[in-house]
Chains A and B, each alone.
Chain A
């Protein structure tokens, strides 16, 4: 395993300023937040400028990196904690894996900043929005560029915070506030897992730097490595909306659409994939945890695809699609060394076409007075030609239309899954193929309901194409959607570029010929699209969702009951615990007592309201505690 440990080479030249990539957007965020209203007029331009500049720096650094032997450099920035037995140095690791992420984040980030200039033009909170967006970009870059798990954790919390702030951006909508809370809570569950994994590494290895952990992971007991792997996976599931923590992601669509595109489609939600790919040496040492990754990916892939088929909210369909596509990536990283490059390739391609699809959805919403109900769309292809074409290209890329991005990257994953061999290979391959068919179904349904058929617009809606600042990023992303797959898989194979991180790509012996796979997948995709046309395109779309539907559709509409399960397993016990503690804390105190206290206090209502208890009940509590303590001690010693 040691050969994949990045050898740290001291930096010089251009790469020594790689920290600028993070500092630029961070400085933008700080300026906008501290500058107050003074920056209202030009703040959004500054924010966009910093991300564009960060992209330029990232690009220059990546080019500089290609000329280096080993293609890995590390920068020590400063010593975070340095004491006798604890040494945490904050530093950056710039290697092929972090480089592609840095390019994705700053590249897509810059385009989405540009798009937001138009999208948020009339929003009173524009400066705040751009500040948070910059904050997000900075935190996400720290997440992927840090050279230790602690640095990753700092970025991890940062993106979580920014995501929370941005989902709740339109806080006056109760749904947005609730969605933000839900995202926050489910993410915290994952964060606890990640934190525990980091502590476990610390306790066992005394270090959290990638180099240190990967260098000595082989010395650990098998059970410990598996525990680390599973805890990391829990963190990854929370951030990436994977089973069983997937329910927050569709709700997070309450945030502004550029946020959905950047954070909840292209970058942040793929942090889980980054985490697992980055921790490859850990998973190499624990087949058990890797198998769980695989299972999580396969299950989520299907859940997302099924739920996506039944929703009428255009952004929620895209969100379930994201859940499902990240499921593909988890599946790929779960397959081990053969799958890493495929996962990252799909991640990058997905970043392009899904960001493009969300921006297209934003453009449609812009045209339709912020409606997201596809049942009230229809016939928009003529009214929004640029949106239609760019969205259409993203759609074709996503369903895996031959020679577009998804075809290259998704087929690669399906091939790798089938190559696993044995019954598990067939099951996983089958699931992946089925998922591709479902993807074709729900995306075709979305296209038909939105752009084709008879207009079913609400009264007073006059669709119009978005301004150039919005369409230009869509066009650029559409190019990416078309070409990324070819470039990453065939022209400049990503697996070769990532070799310093994941080791030499193996030339796998294919169990099923790639050509056969490709044909089968294409047929299944075509069947999916055809089914969608038979069910949706051929008929008139009712403007309200039919109430009498089969149980399968009901289940899909409710996200396969993820919320119900969460409620009964987590929320209810939580509510009970809170109630019980409140009751215990205010024991013996009821309305009558409060009233008496108020009367005693000379009618001071404030007193009655604020002071909930009498001293005697508090004293009783202390006495009870003391008896428990003494009793427990005697019991322990006896």
Chain B
């Protein structure tokens, strides 16, 4: 047995990941060594430097196509494009986290998570202005995990990335300052179910390894070609898909989504809904096209069925929701289905328009969703955020700007023309049609028609109902939330009116290596 050779690492190509993980590690040190008074601004700065630095790095690396770290990491167009997307969404989420003007206690996160909810100490802390700063390193680790997830060219690394992105999210979900029981329950649910789903992924990994003798995606691909699809490998593929679809909240693996989205602090929900979706789809695309692209006849019917299930479940159940956060959760499930139509749109062996369309859709969806959730943090009553639909009645009279912005985001989610939602849907549906997936697009159009109804219901409620006398107030956001809302609204508009540049970027990036 020879000595183990250190793998060759291309540090330049890893720069985006190094930036984010570096920032996360520094954040942990800051937490230990700086006085409490300066921690908040320092942590926010570090997290922003890390994410924005990573974004700039992805831009500089554009065009790179290499496989590094002994073949475990692929730095290629899709990886860089999605890493850049995640970095931007991450930076905006960090800004949302850092908002201090809205909550009377100056933070949306609990001051000390370990104190039992409802205890005397808890009540004392709830009114104090002590803030929690561990959320920034946690979020930065999660962002790093997501970026690694989209570049993982190896099933084991993919699993590691899955855990790196998931564990901080479980924690973050439980850190709400208000309604702590709800938040903690959400965290526990997410953790248990997440662990359950990870087990599926791991078992699938083992089966695929058993069938092909490798965990490297390119080797799996070769094995699929030479040996064809054995039952072992196919079941392995199925279990891998289950694990990934859970993260992407695709029906029927969506059951956690509404509960967790509702319970988690809204800024965290925004982060999860936007960035996790991008990361999960990055991994789905890579797995299906790099490893199993030559055996697409095995998974295509499956993805087809999952897309339909997700669209129908999301659109129909969204109709019955009375809580804005839960409604947006079902919307996210429906959007996962729309994204899967783009996945279907990829021709055999990664050709076709589907990859670019799906990536473009991820950008549009991520930014709009982040904006919509960000807006939820502004509408508050004495008990924190007012998310029940009835409390949104007549909001336009209290705050025309918030109502108009929310309407704009909801119209974008509904896919009304001149918003990014329309161009995104247009792109994925077109890709699916080119791949001959007619029935899927018909279902998607019907589902988006149904979903449009519950989005517009909120618009009508805001504009056409009389406000309740003891209705919520609309907080005046500080600079961070203002920046997030301005950026996401501008992106939603620009990508709807002039999507050309980003679409072109997505198209030029739509080539996998490995």
Contacts and interface: CB of A to CB of B under 8 A. Distances in A.
Query: A and B: partners?
Result: yes
Interface of A: 33-34, 36, 78-86, 128, 153-154, 157-158, 161, 164-165, 168, 171-172, 177, 180-181, 184-185, 188-189, 191-192, 195-196, 199-200, 202-203, 577-578, 581-582, 585, 601-602, 604, 606-607, 610-613, 615, 617-619, 621-622, 624-626, 628-630, 632-634, 636-638
Contacts of A630: 235, 238-239
Q: Return the 10 tightest CB-CB contacts between A and B, nearest first.
A: A171-B464, A625-B252, A188-B449, A618-B255, A154-B417, A630-B238, A633-B238, A203-B433, A626-B242, A192-B445
B210 interface: no
Given A195-B445, A619-B196, A637 B229 contact: yes
Given A619-B192, A629-B302, A634-B235, A86 B430 contact: yes
A625 to B, nearest CB: 4
Interface of B: 118, 179, 181-182, 185, 188-189, 192-193, 196-197, 200, 229, 231, 234-235, 237-239, 241-242, 246, 252-253, 255-256, 259, 262-263, 297-299, 301-302, 305-306, 312-313, 316-317, 319-320, 323, 353, 400, 404, 416-418, 423, 426-427, 429-430, 433-434, 441-442, 445-446, 449, 452-453, 456, 460, 463-466, 497-500, 503-504, 507
A613 B255 contact: yes
B503 A86 contact: yes
A624 B182 CA distance: 26
A161 B185 contact: no
A635 B294 CA distance: 19
Instruction: Please classify the interface of chain A as helix (H, G, I), strand (E, B), loop, or mixed, using the class held by over half of its residues.
Output: helix
A610 B193 contact: no
B176 to A, nearest CB: 13
A633 B430 CA distance: 27
22 contacts: A81-B500, A84-B504, A153-B417, A188-B453, A192-B445, A582-B317, A602-B181, A604-B181, A615-B192, A617-B255, A619-B192, A621-B253, A626-B253, A629-B241, A629-B306, A630-B235, A632-B302, A633-B234, A633-B238, A633-B299, A634-B231, A638-B231
Given A36-B400, A611-B259, A621 B189 contact: no
A80 B498 contact: yes
Given A195-B445, A196-B442, A637-B298, A611 B182 contact: yes
A158 B417 contact: yes
B445 A632 contact: no
Given A199-B430, A615-B192, A634 B241 contact: no
A634 B302 CA distance: 11
Q: Which of A154, A191, A610, A634 has the most CB of B within 10 A?
A: A610
A33 B302 contact: no
A87 B217 CA distance: 35
A636 B300 CA distance: 10
Given A165-B463, A622-B246, 14 more contacts: A33-B404, A80-B497, A81-B503, A86-B430, A172-B466, A177-B464, A180-B460, A188-B453, A582-B317, A618-B189, A622-B252, A636-B297, A637-B229, A637-B234
Contacts of A192: 442, 445-446, 449
A78 B239 CA distance: 47
A284 B275 CA distance: 50
B181 A610 contact: no
B423 A83 contact: no
A601 B464 CA distance: 37
Instruction: Please classify the interface of chain B as helix (H, G, I), strand (E, B), loop, or mixed, using the class held by over half of its residues.
Output: helix
Contacts of A637: 229, 231, 234, 298
A83 B316 contact: no
Nearest to A85: B353
A288 B368 CA distance: 43
Contacts of B301: 632, 636
Contacts of B453: 181, 184-185, 188
B242 A157 contact: no
B235 A626 contact: no
Q: Which of A83, A154, A585, A612 has the most CB of B within 10 A?
A: A83
A510 B253 CA distance: 67
Contacts of A81: 423, 426, 499-500, 503
A207 to B, nearest CB: 12
A83 B298 contact: no
B455 to A, nearest CB: 11
Contacts of B256: 618
A566 to B, nearest CB: 15
A26 to B, nearest CB: 11
B352 to A, nearest CB: 10
A578 to B, nearest CB: 5
Contacts of A168: 460, 464
Nearest to B505: A83
Nearest to B257: A618
A196 B426 CA distance: 11
Nearest to B231: A634
B305 A632 contact: yes
A638 B464 CA distance: 57
A180 to B, nearest CB: 8
Contact of A83 (B434, B460, B504): B504
Given A196-B445, A203-B434, A634-B235, A607 B417 contact: no
Nearest to B502: A83
Contact of B253 (A582, A602, A611, A625): A625
B507 A607 contact: no
A613 B254 CA distance: 13
Q: Which of B320, B441, B449 has the most CB of A within 10 A?
A: B449
Given A195-B445, A630-B235, A607 B181 contact: yes
Contacts of A181: 453
Contacts of B299: 633
Contact of B500 (A82, A195, A601): A82
A581 B305 CA distance: 16
B316 A157 contact: no
B430 A188 contact: no
